Amino acid sequence: MNRWGRENRALKTVLVAASFAFVALFLVLPLCQVLWKAFEFGVRPFWDSVSDTYTAKALKLSIITTVLAVACNTLFGLCAAWAVTRFSFPGKGFLVTLIDIPFAVSPVIAGLVFIMTFGRLGWAYPFLTEHDIKIVFAVPGLVLATIFVTFPFVAREIIPVLTARGTDEEEAAVLMGAGLFRTFRSVTLPHIRWALLYGVILCTARAMGEFGAVSVVSGHLRGRTNTLPLHIEILFREYHTLQSFSAAAILVATAVLLLVARNIVEGISRKDADCHVR
Amino acid sequence: MKKTLALILAPALALGLFALIPASQALSDSAELTNVSYDPTRELYDEYNKAFAAYYKDKTGNDLEIVQSHGGSSKQARTVIEGNEADVVTLALAIDITAIEEAGLIKPGWQSEFPGNSSPYTSTIVFLVRKGNPKGIKDWDDLAKDGIGVITPNPKTSGGARWNYLAAWAFADAKFSHDEAQVTAFIKKIFDNVLVLDTGARGSTNTFVQNGQGDVLLAWENEAYLALAETPGQFEIVAPPTSILAEPPVAIVDSNVDKKGTRELATEYLNYLYSDEGQRISGKHFYRPSNKAIAEEFKDVFVLNMKLITIDDPLFGGWGPAQAKHFNDGGVFDQIYTR
């Protein structure tokens, strides 16, 4: 017993040290490098790079795309999770699998699919030009591409919670005469709110940084369809190292903030769950 | 709980409306022009667009916004074909514009629409060597000597690298008086000296400049000057007596300007590249002005008496035949570079 304990402690130390070393070496260090590069010459040059017209426009565009994509995916995630856990219908398992497609498919393919659909050679193009709608190489294309890539995040967080809860309370509510919307609002939503928020945060983090799919449908029109990640890459390739890393620092800061928010939400939801159990 | 949902959705809707604002702004009377260009012209067009907007404002009293896009030349052409609504394209190679022409967006004959094969500026391939030129590299035959480390991108994947290859070919053709067997052997020797064959021009520049590999980098003149400016005192440029003349072309995208009613503006935009001011701006950014008098003003920067051979020289017969003979699968390059 004693020997076991000692060996386990040794094993534990090694594992913990290895984990920390890995995280430090491959995750934390590169991010610190970004921040260091951004502030290498002080705050003033950093601020000048970030307040450059095109960087500011790229940031604004990234925020707009992210908010729209997250809003869509939140709505969709709620509907899909509700449908999958509260009703039974043929092809349900299949639908759940389909939701995960964006996890498996390369973002480049997502972008190309939109080009082949809405681009000049795509089948929807005649209809779009007739009605003067622009999708690819314009903001709607960026939003669509981002939606595709961040599709599963919200639904994936809610489904397990709803499944674990079961349908008893909702059935009770319906029996007591509550309408569908009332049931959803007063019974279902309180159970899933933290999972929902958690999903939204993850979704936001992923949407802000999306590169691959957006790169394909963007057309790189500076000040128009250049999101922050695309802009960072262009700046870097054009030898504007300081500007590039300054812009990257914004993304890193956003990511850190979102992670902090995620941890807070996780903490609250655990406390919340404990209260319910008691 | 309603609050949480409202917290998420309210800003979303607000920003959604916000996103519509630029669209409505576009309806106002200030003119707009989209120029889809390639990677190394970013600084050039940054300055040129400001100059042209000022000129336009002076002339018409209207504001002009020029939207710029940069990327790999062929990739950029592809986005225009797929529906990126460029008014003008200013790309690296005529074949990229020909691709847009073949898609039906540009009318045939675009290359005679503007002076000098529709190339307002030209460039050539030069050598970038380490400070003091320790290996004494002066001309193409120095690249074939033993113990010289050459850096160039792969002609199979990089447009720029094809120019490097063809420039060497032009030199060898003159040296060996058209004896193709000897020319091929000479090119093979140069490529045997290649240390790293990157996929793109920027990759090669990094290999040479940042990673310190090799004795000589074959590069675009404008790229070489850019690298020189980035790392003062470490490198120098050697202009070989013979090289190739690259003519990056410009064109109006007919379908798009007709749709948007911007033909007149687009024509003026490209014409102004040939004005004294436009020519000086291209010279300042290390593209050779096509106007001889303006080029003369830059004689301290460019070696103007180089013998420059164009791709349309009978030796190559234009891009189509050159591509087929040298770079297609099983072509001359595949035969000499079998590693």
Q: State yes or no: pLDDT of A55 exceeds 80.
A: yes
Percentage of residues of chain B with pLDDT beyond 70: 91
On whether both A18 and A58 belong to a single domain, the answer is no
Helix (H) or strand (E) holding B216: strand B216-220
On whether both A8 and A64 belong to a single domain, the answer is no
Cα angle value B272/B276/B280 (rounded, 5°)? 100
Instruction: Report ipTM for this prediction.
Output: 0.80
Q: Is A220 on the interface with B (CB under 8 A)?
A: yes
Question: Whole-model pTM?
Answer: 0.82
Asked whether residue A46 is assigned to any structural domain, the reply reads no
Q: What is the pLDDT of residue B27?
A: 45
Asked whether residue B92 is assigned to any structural domain, the reply reads yes
Q: Could you give the number of structural domains in chain B?
A: 2
- Residue spans of alpha helices (H) in A39-187: 43-50, 53-86, 92-99, 101-104, 107-118, 125-130, 139-150, 152-165, 168-175, 180-183
On whether both B200 and B314 belong to a single domain, the answer is yes
Q: Is B226 on the interface with A (CB under 8 A)?
A: yes
Interface probe for A, chosen from B69, B225, B231, B253 (most Cβ of A below 10 Å), is B69
Pick from B141, B154, B153, B133: nearest CA to B216: B133
Residues of B in contact with A193 (CB under 8 A): 1, 4
- Smallest CA–CA distance, residue B274 to chain A, in Å, is 25
Asked whether residue B7 is assigned to any structural domain, the reply reads no
On whether both B91 and B221 belong to a single domain, the answer is no
On whether both B79 and B216 belong to a single domain, the answer is no
Per residue in A61-106, pLDDT tens?
Answer: 999 999 999 999 999 999 999 888 888 888 888 888 899 999 899 9
Structural domain boundaries enclosing A2: 1-38
For residue A59, what is the domain's CATH number? 1.10.3720.10
For residue B328, what is the domain's CATH number? 3.40.190.10
A220/B70 CB distance under 8 A: yes
On whether both A136 and A30 belong to a single domain, the answer is no
Q: Averaged over A229-243, what is the pLDDT?
A: 86
On whether both A21 and A159 belong to a single domain, the answer is no
Task: Name the residue with higher pLDDT: A237 or A4.
Answer: A237
**Measured between alpha carbons, how far is B257 from B247 in angstroms, rounded to an integer?**
24
Asked whether residue B134 is assigned to any structural domain, the reply reads yes
- Smallest CA–CA distance, residue B79 to chain A, in Å, is 6
B81/A121 CB distance under 8 A: yes
B69/A219 CB distance under 8 A: yes
Specify the pairing of strand B121-130 against strand B242-246. Answer: antiparallel
Q: State yes or no: pLDDT of B26 exceeds 50.
A: no
Which of A115, A125, A222 is closest, CB to CB, to B68? A222
Per residue in A129-154, pLDDT tens?
Answer: 889 899 999 999 999 999 999 999 99
Asked whether residue A47 is assigned to any structural domain, the reply reads no
- Smallest CA–CA distance, residue A90 to chain B, in Å, is 30
On whether both A13 and A143 belong to a single domain, the answer is no
Asked whether residue A150 is assigned to any structural domain, the reply reads yes
On whether both A31 and A107 belong to a single domain, the answer is no
pLDDT class for B95, splitting at 50, 70, 90? Answer: confident
On whether both B220 and B234 belong to a single domain, the answer is yes
On whether both A214 and A100 belong to a single domain, the answer is yes
On whether both B136 and B215 belong to a single domain, the answer is yes
Q: State yes or no: pLDDT of A189 exceeds 80.
A: yes
Asked whether residue A10 is assigned to any structural domain, the reply reads yes
Q: Could you give the number of structural domains in chain A?
A: 2
On whether both B169 and B238 belong to a single domain, the answer is yes
On whether both A65 and A27 belong to a single domain, the answer is no
On whether both A229 and A258 belong to a single domain, the answer is yes
A200/B79 CB distance under 8 A: no
Cα angle value B12/B18/B24 (rounded, 5°)? 145
**Measured between alpha carbons, how far is A252 from A38 in angstroms, rounded to an integer?**
11
B4/A239 CB distance under 8 A: no
Structural domain boundaries enclosing B56: 28-119+247-297
- Any idea which residue has 């922050």 for tokens? A228
Residues of A in contact with B9 (CB under 8 A): 71, 74
On whether both A178 and A257 belong to a single domain, the answer is yes
Asked whether residue A44 is assigned to any structural domain, the reply reads no
On whether both B170 and B109 belong to a single domain, the answer is no
On whether both B53 and B109 belong to a single domain, the answer is yes
On whether both A32 and A96 belong to a single domain, the answer is no
On whether both A14 and A136 belong to a single domain, the answer is no
